[in-house]
Amino acid sequence: MDRGLFIAGVIFAVLLAAPFVASQFGSTYFLSLLMKAMLLAIAALSLDLLIGQGGMVSFGHTAFIGLGAYVTGIGLEEGIENILVLLVIAIVVSGLFAVITGALALRTSGVYFIMITLAFGQMTYFTLTSLAAYGGDDGLTLWSMAELFGSDIVQNGGGLYFVITGALIGTWWLIHRIAGSRFGRVLRAAKENPGRTEIMGFSVFRYRLIAYVIAGMIAGVSGLLLAQHAEFISPAIATWKKSGELIIVVVLGGMGSRNGAILGAFFFVFVEEFLGGLFHEWKLIFGPLLVLMVLYARGGISDLLEARPKKAGAS
């Protein structure tokens, strides 16, 4: 059995069992921390589709998370409480934004692509801060939460933990299938040599745009679930700093690895929580720790776990 699939199975089994273990100790805070990490992992998986598979470093990816969160918040404020309706709206809005911005950004490459995605991300951030009717720069507290046909199963205290876990597993499976498909192979070929890929008859722009839209829609879903979990939305979700953190998570876990995005997210959240509880200026320790991780685990955390031991006599 493939070691990566085995590790993924262990991760998901542990996550599914965690609520039953936590209930024995009455620890709801631990579950809240796990949900935060899983939401970050969903967003990281979507970004890894761009960076790890397509070589597209987006510095505005959290704009889609912000859109998904604000679609949820605004929908709830306007009386839309069915989470399935909010889900469809979040996917459509995120997808349309990805089509428009991606069609422009993907006409560039390299540092120019990074800068234009950063610009679109900041545009989204400032647009969200201008929504005075929905909290503006201060954000918006959600006094009512989305329901599923009148049930609280998708709310905190209900089954939100398992909904987020299911979304994470579904996202992992989707990215895994994409990576192993013809589409994924063409995307990786375009990453290595776009000119040769074009000569072979594949439209690099079209493949990259489709990947960009898929990643944007997944990030939009993570934004919806984030709003449902935090019961609060803020424009700060869409800042370039959050996009930078998301890139750190992908690199830390291992680019091009589905397990890496998950492991990187959990490492980031739990180390941040641990160091933040010890020191106010915890980033002074976290920064050098990340540098050491990059220097001595160049393939990311997933590479350390998935690397097979060399056989005797092997080079």
Q: What percent of the chain has pLDDT over 70?
A: 94
Cα–Cα dist 315/306, whole Å:
18
Residue ranges of the domains in the chain?
37-238
Mean pLDDT is lowest, of 62-76, 109-123, 199-213, 251-265, for 251-265
Tell me what pLDDT residue 26 has: 65
Tell me what pLDDT residue 41 has: 95
Tell me what pLDDT residue 315 has: 30
- Could you report the per-residue pLDDT of 11-58, keeping only the tens digit for each? 999 999 988 887 777 677 888 899 999 999 999 999 999 998 999 999
Tell me what pLDDT residue 298 has: 66
Average pLDDT across the chain, whole number: 88
CA nearest neighbour of 119 among 105, 103, 133, 134: 105
Cα–Cα dist 56/194, whole Å:
12
Beta bridge partners of 141: 232
pLDDT exceeds 60 at position 310: no
CB 63 within 8 A of CB 44: no
- Could you report the per-residue pLDDT of 283-299, keeping only the tens digit for each? 788 778 777 777 776 67
- Could you report the per-residue pLDDT of 73-100, keeping only the tens digit for each? 999 999 899 999 999 999 999 999 999 9
Tell me what pLDDT residue 306 has: 62
- Could you report the per-residue pLDDT of 232-259, keeping only the tens digit for each? 999 999 999 899 989 989 988 888 888 8
Model confidence at 1, pLDDT cuts 50, 70, 90, reads low
Q: Which of 87-96, 103-112, 184-193, 198-207 has the highest mean pLDDT?
A: 87-96
Cα–Cα dist 39/31, whole Å:
12
Model confidence at 309, pLDDT cuts 50, 70, 90, reads very low
What letter represents residue 82's amino acid?
N
